[in-house]
Amino acid sequence: MQVAVYYSNKDIRIEERPTPKIATGELLVRVEASSICGSDVMEWYRIKKAPLVLGHEIAGEIVEVGKEVKQYQKGDRVFVSHHVPCNTCRYCLSGYHSLCDTLRQTNFDPGGFSQYIRVPKINVDRGVFLLPEEMSFEEGVFIEPLACVLRGLRIARMQPGKSVLVIGSGISGLLFVQLSQALGAGRVIVTDINEYRLNAARRFGADTTIRAEEDVPARLRQLNDDWLVDLVVICTGAVSVISQAIQSVERGGTVLFFAPIEPGVDVPIPMFDVWHNGITFTTTYAGSPADIVSAIELIRARRVQVQDMITHRLPLTETGLGFQIVANAQDSLKVIIEPQK
């Protein structure tokens, strides 16, 4: 089979590998769609593990079923979660599945940018989800990122009627816009430096957009009768936006750090202002199994529209081009790799 091997953002090589052999309790899945996540092009995060086959937002069809697998059969259309929790540790039992050591160590083999993946027994047990009949493989790749966004809003305790500022309008930002609106947000505002993505944010439901180089807190007060916002969601790793986020959140509000920042980067925090204004900082990573189930239903019911977010569809042989498109973050939203074409 063919795989796209990551050496760096500018060095993606198409290589031939044997199709994985499955053991008892495992599945072999033919990958029909695999999308490039923003985290895939974070070189500071990925390159130290290179070479490897990336790709964790996938959907496909089961083509081989291992012995003792009873709940799935050949021909089933599925979403496969790359990370799965143990469900028994202190983190899982407290509802923090994404902090579980098992979740952070599990994966499928070799990665989504390949024609086939082997799904280990533990992933079969708790990380394989049937796609609804009305959901395409393309839509299925949005399940994982939407689950992450769902967990973020849950952790941030977003409530109906509250105002939301989303900083950064890539795919995650756009999913935050749609989900916030679906959950009854009072007003959803988006900032970005890219006009193409600001236009996309308006198209996908943002009430207002603000160019990031403007005085964002001042513009918020103009828009909100001299109020700031109740929740700020940071969907970019740019350190400069953290100060902007703190200045944009209302007293008693929350700042959600969704996008990661490179390790070793320290950020000065005006702790008196944070304390005096009762600001809550919180973070999120990944999504739980329950979030995945909810994400599937939201996409199935068209409460969150994802099809029109796809701007590029490329064969596996052009995965390198896809990485360049995502890394440059210009006129693109979701780039999908189709390994069977």
- pTM equals 0.96
Q: What CATH number does residue 309 fall under? A: 3.90.180.10
Whether 113 and 196 map to the same domain: the answer is no
Q: Tell me the C-alpha distance between 39 and 336, whole Å.
A: 14
Q: Is 287 left (phi over 0), alpha (psi -120 to 50) or beta?
A: beta
Which of these three, 250, 268, 283, is where a domain ends? 283
Whether 262 and 326 map to the same domain: the answer is no
Give residue 240's domain range: 157-283
Whether 308 and 262 map to the same domain: the answer is no
Count the domains in the chain: 2
Q: Contact 3/114 with Cβ under 8 angstroms?
A: yes
Give residue 246's Cα distance to chain centre: 23
Whether 140 and 262 map to the same domain: the answer is no
Residue 108 has phi, psi (to 5 degrees) of -95, 175
CB atoms within 10 A of CB 282: 14
- Across the range 255-281, mean pLDDT stands at 93
In a domain, 40, yes or no: yes
Whether 252 and 185 map to the same domain: the answer is yes
The tens digit of pLDDT for each residue in 24-35 reads 999 999 999 999
Whether 205 and 253 map to the same domain: the answer is yes
Q: Per the structure block, which two tokens stand in for 130?
A: 């049937």
Q: Tell me the C-alpha distance between 132 and 114, whole Å.
A: 23
Q: What CATH number does residue 205 fall under? A: 3.40.50.720
Look-up of token digits 């839509």: 139
Q: What is the mean pLDDT of the chain?
A: 96
In a domain, 152, yes or no: no
In a domain, 268, yes or no: yes
105 CB-near residues (< 8 Å, 6+ apart): none
Q: Where are the alpha helices (DSSP H) in 6-142?
A: 43-46, 90-93, 101-105, 121-126, 137-140
Q: Contact 1/31 with Cβ under 8 angstroms?
A: no
Which of these three, 264, 283, 302, is where a domain ends? 283
The torsion angle over the Cα atoms of residues 214, 273, 250 and 171, rounded to 10 degrees, is 60
Q: What SS3 class is residue 153?
A: helix
Q: Tell me the C-alpha distance between 170 and 240, whole Å.
A: 17
Say which DSSP state 279 is in.
Answer: P
Whether 26 and 107 map to the same domain: the answer is yes
In a domain, 39, yes or no: yes
The tens digit of pLDDT for each residue in 276-310 reads 999 999 999 999 999 999 999 999 999 999 999 99
In a domain, 150, yes or no: no
Look-up of token digits 């939301």: 164
Q: Tell me the C-alpha distance between 313 and 137, whole Å.
A: 12
Largest CA distance in the chain: 64
Model confidence at 330, in pLDDT bands (50, 70, 90)?
A: confident
Whether 120 and 206 map to the same domain: the answer is no
Whether 214 and 251 map to the same domain: the answer is yes
Q: Tell me the C-alpha distance between 2 and 14, whole Å.
A: 7
pLDDT at 329 over 90: no
Sign, Cα dihedral of 329, 330, 336, 341: negative
Whether 102 and 174 map to the same domain: the answer is no
Which of these three, 243, 261, 283, is where a domain ends? 283
Q: Tell me the C-alpha distance between 313 and 173, whole Å.
A: 21
Q: Per the structure block, which two tokens stand in for 330?
A: 């210009």
In a domain, 10, yes or no: yes
In a domain, 294, yes or no: yes
Residues in the chain: 341
In a domain, 99, yes or no: yes
Say which DSSP state 186 is in.
Answer: S
Model confidence at 43, in pLDDT bands (50, 70, 90)?
A: very high
Whether 135 and 173 map to the same domain: the answer is no
> Residue 291 has what pLDDT?
97
Q: Is 328 exposed, middle or buried (0-12, 13-18, 19+ CB in 10 A)?
A: exposed
The tens digit of pLDDT for each residue in 169-185 reads 999 999 999 999 999 99
Whether 276 and 291 map to the same domain: the answer is no
The tens digit of pLDDT for each residue in 100-158 reads 999 999 999 999 999 999 999 999 999 999 999 999 999 999 999 999 999 999 999 99
Q: Tell me the C-alpha distance between 211 and 259, whole Å.
A: 19
Q: Tell me the C-alpha distance between 222 and 189, whole Å.
A: 12
